[in-house]
Structure 1
Amino acid sequence: MLSILDKYILKRYLGTFLLLLLLFIPIGITVNLAEKIDKILANEVPFIEVVKYYLDFTVYFANLLFPLFLFLSVIWFTSKLANNTEIIAFLSSGVSYYRFLRPYMIGATLVCIGAFFLGMYIAPSASKGFNDFTYEYLKKGKKAYENTNVYRQINENDYLYVSYFNVNEKSGTNFTLEHFEGQKMTYKLSANRIKFNDIDSTYSLNTYTKRIIGEDGDIIERKAQLDTIFNFELDDLTPVKYIAETLNLPELNKFIAREKEKGSNLINRYEVVRYKRWSLPVSAYILTIIAVAVSSVKRRGGMGVNLAIGIAIGMVFIFFDKIFGTLAEQSDFSPFIATWAPNIVFAILAIYLLRNAKR
């Protein structure tokens, strides 16, 4: 059963967090609209599309920045408790510091569960609408696809490569298809240009060469042009940059498993998205403990000092999260370590601050 103390703090915890969301989301929409209004008007975007975009933007924005909102809200109302000497009254009544933390942990659990379902199932759909609108209306001319130096394993035996693929023309340059039987290559197809034909779902190859590797010598076949069928999809040549962000948890797990089989060079990017969906909800506990430890002490400068410290710590957390995420996406650095490193570092900081605050 929750005591009066638990209910009082839990009500303040959740109420302040929701209030901060309701205050900052309209500000975020206003700032974004002020920045994008020229392009929206210039491209004559239908009003209903703009409304859908900002509904998706609200979910996308809340999912992306909820740790910072939660952190600041806990600092805000805990500082008010400290300034009103309510915390001193609680602890003086015989309540231990860890007992005082219990309603905060209950609140963090509720936020964690909500953030989990938001990030796993609701935010992906909003992310798709947000990114589709951005590339269709706001980033015209910019590519939403990874279409340079695409190297993929399309099944157990076949590997393809294309140096560049034009999405609008559905054509690429420097195409290569290699077929293996076990560890041995049996033939290799290459063409200066490959083009997909919508009418019959075939591919046209220009300056086509096929090398069949035999025991007694290779057989080489050349043609100026060849129309043929392949067992890979057009999407294999043009993976969408933000595809992982638009898939819910079961879909994302299946997608990553397929991409690993194909030998995709974007696996780290997809893994970062998956692991971040688990790490962000957990950060609710860590940031709550840090916020309480920082703001439960009554300071001479009042709430302003606590907020300044909180904003600085929050910015460092976001900085770590972005740096490690980018490092994993652009190198061979482990995506698992990259996404969990900020939580681990700040968990150590939380333990240190909690011990000092307790004393």
Structure 2
Amino acid sequence: MKILDRYLLKTFLGTFATVFVILFFVFILQTVWLFIAELAGKDLDFVMVIKFLAFSMPRIVPLVLPLSILLASIMSFGNLSEHYEFAAMKSSGISLQRAMRSLTIAIAILSIVAFLFANNVIPYAEFRFVNFRKNIAQAKPALAITEGQFSDVGSYNIKVNKKSGENGNHLTGITIHQKSLNGDGSKTAIRATDGELISSDKTSILQLVLNDGNYYQDIVPKKYEDRDKLPFAKSSFKKYRINIDLSQLNKVDTKDESVSNTSTMLTVNDLKYTLDSLTKNRNTEIVSFSENSGSRIATLSNNNAPQVSKKKALVKNLLSIYNNKQKVEILKAASSNAQSTLYTIDATRSELDNKKKNINSHILALYDKFVIVYACFLMFFIGAPLGAIIRKGGLGLPIVFAVLIFISFHFINTFGKRISQEDGIPPFFGAWMSSMILTPLAVLLTYRATNDIGLINMDVLLAPVQKVFQKLFQKIIPSQNKE
């Protein structure tokens, strides 16, 4: 390896590492902010917080990596141009493409690592992250209850004076208000001296066992004049059990699809297998529904007008044998059957649309693993020429350009995914839309940097304006001379 290549690699990789760490830390803070409701006020120990953050970190890499490459490229080549090092290279016969050659190899290696990371580490981390949020209540169910204040847990508001025990499962001074199903406030209150939270990995039900307490329930008399007496029922107990659904804790959806079959939790091979199964399942359902509909609905053999008129005449002849009341009942039954069929069609169409959206989301997840590879090259071939053109390093102008370009890339990428997921455009174009739009920019910047052309050719913009002013002056000056 030549000295120049070592110098460029050292400059770029050092800048890249610094930028990557800073941006990664910023995005981690954003993740903490998004999930602050699940972390704050629940007495999470340090180990559980670290696990929570560790499982959420890998999903940030596809955002941070392209932006870091873009910013590091602009800063590195901007510094080279600003200190005339790039000019010295050109005077020695070293072109921009030659200077970028060793860095291109480094970006290729980095892209391969990014693909392996997106295909193996991120799916595993996503699976652990979702299940960790789901099982955090099972591991320490008392986390959902805060001392000294009412905590909303499912259909209950629970307040305890003190929590004790290894996982805080032993509760003292318990007050519970059960929510009314009608939404008209709490009509049931339970007081207990102490209690215990019992959970198991084999079930999703959390048991709250109460000891030595009273059960109060308001009674609403049928007579309005008796309601002013505020009657209630009271009973005491030695032991009372309340079952709480764990899915209400931490507000996590525990459906099987969201826990084990999310598209972001699958590798390339898993996505291909899942897509094949989902597509076959949807096609089978379409065929089955069409066959069932054909057997339920009386269809005409063809659409010839004489046969239609014969059918209508036959219906009229059949109805003529019934009285008016029976005719009304028959027509109502026919209308009800037709309406039922329409409802079935609408429900099936909605279900098929949802399955199509699920298929599209899996296709997008498959393409995303390859988009990150191309995004690394794209951001490098935008950042390196742009840095050589603007001739500015440091954290000033390069950050402005990097943020604008990356926001455009991310916005177009998100926009394309949303449209393709709704089946507005093919998923291929939705996943690759941002890359397709920004690739011409990379080609243009590389061409202009190679040929020492500025970012904007002001002559092209000013030439038409100059011609207009020249024509105006030519008209004004001769008229003044005549006077």
TM over 0.5: yes
Q: How far does residue 307 in structure 1 lie from its aligned partner after superposition?
A: 2.7
Bigger fraction of residues in helix: 2
Query: Structure 1 residues 36 and 341, CA, compared in 2 at 3 Å: closer, same or farther?
Result: closer
1:1-359 paired onto structure 2 within 5 Å? 2-34=1-33, 36-133=35-132, 239-240=257-258, 243-263=262-282, 264-265=355-356, 266-299=358-391, 304-359=396-451
What is the CA–CA distance in structure 1 between the aligned matches of 2:272 and 2:72, rounded to whole Å?
A: 34
- 1:64-100 CA-to-partner distances (Å, cap 9, x unmatched) read 3311121112112221222111111111111122112
Matches of 2:37 and 2:371, distance apart in 1: 37
CA distance 1:121–1:286, shift in 2 (3 Å): same
Q: Which runs of 5+ in 2 are unaligned?
A: 138-143, 145-151, 153-202, 204-254, 283-354, 452-483
Conservation of the 8 A alpha-carbon contact between 1:13 and 1:107: no
Contact 2:75 2:395 in 1 (8 A): yes
TM-score by length of 1: 0.66
Q: Percent identity among equivalent residues?
A: 22
Q: Is the 8 A contact 1:70 1:284 kept in 2?
A: yes
Unpaired stretches in structure 1, ≥5 consecutive residues: 142-197, 199-236
Query: Which deviates further from its counterpart, 32-41 or 112-121?
Result: 32-41
Task: Find the aligned partners of 2:30 and 2:361 in 1 and give their Cα distance.
Answer: 29
Conserved in 2, the CA contact under 8 Å of 1:53 and 1:129? no
Residue type matched to 2:258 in 1?
Answer: V
Q: Rg larger in 1 or in 2?
A: 2
C-alpha displacement of 1:238: 5.8
TM-aligned CA deviation for residue 317 of structure 1: 0.7
- Whether contact under 8 Å (2:124, 2:265) holds in the other structure is yes
What displacement does 1:133 show?
Answer: 4.3
Mapped partners of 1:279, 1:24: distance in 2: 20
Residue 63 of structure 1 deviates from its aligned partner by 2.9
Task: Report Cα offsets for 1:260-317 as digits up to 9, x if no partner.
Answer: 1211331001100101111111111111011011111254898622331222111101
Q: How many equivalent pairs are there?
A: 263
Measure the CA separation in 2 of the matches of 1:287 and 1:116. Answer: 16
Residues 43 and 137, structure 1, Cα contact 8 Å, conserved in 2: no
- In 2, Cα distance between equivalents of 1:332 and 1:262: 22
Q: CA deviation at 1:352?
A: 1.0
| C-alpha distance in 1 between matches for 2:435 and 2:12 | 21
How far is 1:329 from its partner?
A: 0.9
Secondary structure of the equivalent of 2:258?
Answer: coil
- 1:42–1:328 CA distance, 2 compared to 1 (3 A): same
Normalised TM-score (structure 2): 0.50
Q: Distance in 2 between matches of 1:300 and 1:114?
A: 30
Offset from partner CA, 1:134-169 (integer Å, 9 cap, x none) = 56779x99xxxxxxxxxxxxxxxxxxxxxxxxxxxx
Amino acid at match of 1:239: E
CA-atom RMSD, angstroms? 2.7
* SS of the residue 1:239 aligns to: helix
